[in-house]
Structure 1
Amino acid sequence: MDMAETLEKTYPKVVEGQIQGHDYVTLKIYANCSRIHRELPIYKHLGKIQSNHSGPQCLRMLLDSFEVTGPHGQHICLVHQPLGMSLYELKIRARGKVFSKDVLRPAVRQLLAAICNRITFSWELVISPCSLSMKRMNLPRKVVADRTIYLSRPLPFTFGPPVLCDLGEARLGYEEYQDDIMPDVYRAPEVILGMKWGYKVDIWNVAMVGEYDNAYHLAQMVAVLGPPPLDFLKHSTNSLKYWDENGTWRGLAPIPDISLEKLEQRLTGDDKERFLHFVRQMLCWVPEERPTAGEAIFDPWLMEGLFDSNDG
């Protein structure tokens, strides 16, 4: 019996990718060997929130959940509405693989609205909704001993507001944490250096800078932001690997000859200055100096064109 047949017997509403009412759904299946299952508790918490805040409308919500017995034991399954391509996939197809400001502004506004809920996310934005027309039986597949593996297909262009999804690394409340979070490219300096961190790491995420190696990642931050304050470095002994006791860079990676002005080559004049001001306020070494999501969303550059029908 393959996983699809197991799901159909365990959860009768799921048949050929549809639920009652003939609505398409997406199933996210957690392997039972996963160390921690954070996502379902986060969704249960969000489902209890009674608020007029716009944030929940910017999140991919949970329709249902259940457990299924399949290969290697019990697996948690999450039922979501289907979505289209991610912003990363959209960026790959964009001219020059760079977003225009008319795409970037509404996407960032939507993201900031989502994280105003004070839940820290390891996030991915996707474009919703997506009309799915393919049947499971039409997909190429590989049959192995205890399951059938179906080939994923690239998603077509889709239209609609972006939503925040993949809450497997979300955290609740104002508590400070000290464990790893985020894909490497999005990691804030306090995460790289093993310091305690809070929801302000998401403000850094929005700016999306960095390389994968920690030393090169930090070297790029120094090039763009200047050297970090010595008081900030004293919060972590890990910083002594990269800076000495006086805050001097040890040179584990060369400081590149870059700046925000050099990196931004598409905008000009006042438009470029307003955009760089928006980015700089989020790219701060000290988390407390970063704006909240609620403050950043009202930045003049980000608000520009909000009521223009041509903006998103």
Structure 2
Amino acid sequence: MYASVKVFVHDDTATSQVLNEIKILKQIAGCPREHSGSDIARLPNDVFQIDGPAGQHHCTASKPQGCDLFDLRLTFPDGRLPKVLVVAAVRCLMGCINWLALDCDLIHTEITSRNVLTAVANDDQFVEIQRAEELTPSVPVMDGNFPVYRSRNEPATARNITGIVHLNDFGSARSASASYQDWWMPDLYRAPEILMRVPWDFGVETWSIGILWICEIPIPDFSLEDFVTAIPPGTEKDRFLDYMRRILVWDGKQRATSSDLFHHEWPQMYESQT
């Protein structure tokens, strides 16, 4: 059995994302799990602490996953993921943020292609990494008194992926029942209401997921029809465009909810394929 261990930096400041993530993970652990979206959040099997020269470090041990969506996309021609993978990932993420908001009172606020990991069907790639380490052990580089080991990552590949994705990294998570007006979210995924310095809430999550796939912000006179060229004209494209228009709405109060988007007719078209 393999495990992925994350060792956090030592940070006990009042605004520490480390302490916030540990607090959030403990909060999520006590939430109901009947919602199907609960399986999409990547939660640790164990949370513990180790001692270091600068103090204690929080650690998590989780089931290892495949590469993130950013690296996975680069393995396909022109950086385009197959539609069936896009739909599967969108449904996973919509279900997950719905569960986080309804049952955990949380919004993630940092949904990016680096924080979405692919699930793999078996441990084959981890076995290969172990064998490679046994044959040619890693040589540490000393940083002062600290040995640093280079990660032995297998190149990103679509091999063995299941189509399921997992939402990772809860260091920026907040309460979903509150309203905010501060500067937040990663630059490329920042919702319009934050840019305009108006109150924002749970609605920023669906915006992030939309930008995850389009990677462009629609502005006046910008045509989604002209931008979306991978889908030929017809019912499929019409439904996809309707789906994206419900997400990429500048007024957060008018934006579709995760529940609406989970049951939208565009992802339903692919249900038998995912």
TM-score category, normalised to shorter length: 0.7 to 0.9
Aligned equivalents of 1:77, 1:40: Cα separation in 2 = 9
- Between 159-168 and 129-138, report the one with greater CA deviation: 129-138
The Cα shift of 1:298 comes to 0.8
Aligned to 1:179: 182
1:162 equivalent in alignment to 2:175: no
1:207 equivalent in alignment to 2:210: yes
Aligned equivalents of 1:50, 1:128: Cα separation in 2 = 22
Aligned to 2:233: 269
1:26 equivalent in alignment to 2:28: no
- Larger RCO of the pair (alpha carbons < 8 Å, separation 6+): 2
Q: 1:149 to 1:292 in 2, by over 3 A?
A: same
Aligned to 1:125: 116
Q: Tell me which stretches of 4 or more aligned residues in structure 1 moved more than 4 Å.
A: none
Q: 1:281 to 1:225 in 2, by over 3 A?
A: farther
Q: Any gaps of 5 or more consecutive residues in structure 1?
A: 1-22, 212-216, 227-256
Paired letter, 1:32: H
Q: TM-score, normalised by structure 1?
A: 0.73
Aligned equivalents of 2:154, 2:253: Cα separation in 1 = 39
Matches within 5 A, 1:94-243: 94-117=76-99, 118=101, 119-121=106-108, 122-123=110-111, 124-129=115-120, 131=123, 132-133=126-127, 134-135=129-130, 138-156=137-155, 157=157, 158-160=160-162, 161-208=164-211, 221=217, 224-226=218-220
SS in 2 for 1:197: coil
Structure number with greater Rg is 1
Aligned to 2:65: 83
SS in 1 for 2:48: strand
- Count of residues in correspondence between the two structures: 248
Aligned equivalents of 2:62, 2:141: Cα separation in 1 = 25
Q: 1:301 to 1:260 in 2, by over 3 A?
A: same
Aligned equivalents of 1:273, 1:101: Cα separation in 2 = 15
Paired letter, 2:161: F
SS in 1 for 2:171: coil
The Cα shift of 1:260 comes to 1.2
Aligned to 2:20: 38
Aligned equivalents of 2:239, 2:154: Cα separation in 1 = 34
Paired letter, 2:246: Q
The Cα shift of 1:210 comes to 11
Q: TM-score, normalised by structure 2?
A: 0.83
Give the % identical residues. Answer: 26
Aligned equivalents of 1:58, 1:113: Cα separation in 2 = 8
